[in-house]
Chains A and B, each alone.
Chain A
Amino acid sequence: MTADTGSVRLEGVVKRHGATTVLHGIDLEIRPGEFFVLLGPSGSGKTTTLRILAGLETVSAGRVLMDGADVTAQEPGERDVAMVFQSYALYPHMTVGQNIGFPLKMVGMPAAQIQRAVSEAAARVGIAHLLARTPGQLSGGQQQRCALARAIVRSPRLFLLDEPLSNLDAKLRLETRLELHRLQRSLGATTVYVTHDQEEAMTLADRIAVFMEGRIVQVGTPREVFARPTTREVAAFIGTPPMNLLAGRLDGANVIVDGAALPLLARADAPRDVVVGVRPGDLRVAPRGLPAVVERVEDLGDSSIVSFTAGERLLKLKSDRPPAVEEGQAVHLAFAPDAAHLFDPQTGARL
């Protein structure tokens, strides 16, 4: 093993289906042992990228490198990668034990050794007692574990997971998320994980690549992507509820929205149009600021989400305190000067 083992690199990867281009030149560097999440709305190219890593899709242009070696032309079986499919893709005619042992059987491992490896992998994901059953006799969560065990049993250099939690109910999803993270840490294998759920991405990832319309628009740690989104689209995609975006005019150290001057840290030498973004958690009710009317108060017990209308716009405020306003009440909204994100209204790029 070298320091390179488990590294993955995509260089200018383009994927076309006929006349449509699905990926417009993807460049990506994934470090050994990293939990790397491909995040984006559906149709953004994240699953295609994962399938290119698996070798299930060919590239129209560009290169795929693993451990520094070019694997672009290699078949899926030659790449030493394991994948957990969204549907799990368990073999219904085999028992759980046979499912997990299948990749080992295919490389000609002796039966006794397979049995040992299968028990070990099954124990790791907590399904050692289910080896004799068939997938049809398992619950959704157990099927998901079976698929995981089949992936980890042969210790591949790269794990690929395609929305593995999307078929589980909400409670199980939270539990499995934790276990998945622990499993990845204990195995130490490079993991690429596709999801459209930004909360999953934030909690699991060492780093995130945000996909939009076949391009990577930002790569960074969850904190970086949340705190400094590079485009308006990323800002709007990350965070629950999503960031409030207001068209305004930057003038000196203020941004003017609907005639209300809101102070900023940034300064403009000449006045210009901007889009100002404020996270719901950064918005607050203040004596002065943007005039708004309380539309709806959602009390979540330990926190609250308040919706406001300000002119045509709908704004959201998130607070960890019980709401102190009532529906229909006229208020002013403000935010700390350092909490504002500014974007170019034409290009959407961060200013």
Chain B
Amino acid sequence: MTASGDSRASRERARGIALAAIAGVGLAIWAFPVIWGLLTSFKTERDVLAYPPKFIFEPTLANYREVLFGASSILPNLGSSLVVSVGATLLTMLFAVPAAYALARLRYPARRASGFYVLATQMLPPVGLIIPYYLALQKVGGLDTYTGLIVIDLTFSLPFAIWLMVSYFEDVPYEMEEAALLDRAGRVRALWHVILPQVRGGIAVTTIFVFLNAWNEFLFAVVLGGNRVRTVTVAMFNFISVEQTQWARLAAGAMLAMAPVILIGLFAQRHIVKGLTVGAVKGGGRR
């Protein structure tokens, strides 16, 4: 190896180390609250408030027992969150996929305008909508019902999902659909057999985003929910009261609420990568 080759290799190694260090700092900043929350969830309330903070302590499962099976169990709330999130996600995807396909493909008057309208609904701050939504749901008896909360979730998840899916559909070459039409598939079967398989990565990613948004949603759930429909985010809010904040229980609840999110994230990683490679197939289309 020549001297210049040596210096180049060492330069690249130094660069790799620097990049790893930057990534490490970023990861530490991101992970600290999660790790701190995890530690807190195994502490007693006394250890939580100890100063200076304790990193070494006797772990206890009492908090988990309490939030799972105790008087303030969040199990019913996890159930509520699941119903709202799954319901909102299914309905969103059911409408978003065909709507996005239409926006991406069909040529009709006001196509641009309707695309903009979809995006414009995203521009309203949710806080501004709370009171109208409350009044509207009250009129139709939709307060504190699953239907009510799911419908309200749809109003912001649907535009988001459509907008995300349109770009995936637009990436499928139009000629591929024309080929399917000539192969006698017809438009519906062309969509089913040729187009949808190519955007399945996008469908997976969008589904996950919509689910996570619904799962983590707090503002609408706290105002439009109630005693019957109380999602886990709202339930955890109840650990914070005027007299005291039960930090350890709150942390245990937060860990439980995060579990599905993390599991989905791990599962989705594969799909996201797959979604990217499907579009990259050589000869898949003209760019």
Contacts and interface: CB of A to CB of B under 8 A. Distances in A.
Interface of A: 54-56, 75-77, 81-83, 85-93, 102-103, 106-107, 134-136, 138, 140, 143, 150
Interface of B: 173, 175-176, 178-186, 189, 193-194, 197-198, 278, 281-286
A135 B185 contact: no
Given A106-B185, A106-B189, A136-B281, 14 more contacts: A55-B182, A56-B182, A76-B182, A83-B182, A89-B173, A89-B175, A91-B193, A91-B198, A92-B198, A92-B278, A92-B283, A135-B281, A136-B284, A138-B283
Contacts of A54: 178, 182
Contacts of A56: 178, 181-182
Contact of B283 (A75, A77, A82, A88): A88
A127 B86 CA distance: 46
A135 B179 CA distance: 15
A87 B181 contact: no
Contacts of B283: 87-88, 90, 92, 135-136, 138, 140, 143
Contacts, number: 82
Given A87-B173, A88-B283, A76 B197 contact: no
A89 B176 contact: yes
Q: Chain B binding site: helix, strand, loop or mixed by DSSP?
A: helix
Contacts of A90: 283-284
A91 B198 CA distance: 9
B75 to A, nearest CB: 41
Contacts of B185: 77, 102, 106
A89 B181 contact: no
A82 B193 CA distance: 18
28 contacts: A54-B178, A54-B182, A56-B178, A56-B182, A75-B186, A76-B182, A77-B183, A77-B184, A83-B182, A85-B178, A87-B286, A89-B173, A90-B283, A91-B180, A92-B284, A93-B197, A93-B198, A102-B183, A102-B193, A106-B183, A106-B184, A135-B281, A135-B283, A136-B283, A136-B284, A138-B283, A140-B283, A143-B283
Contact of B176 (A91, A103, A136, A140): A91
B282 A83 contact: no
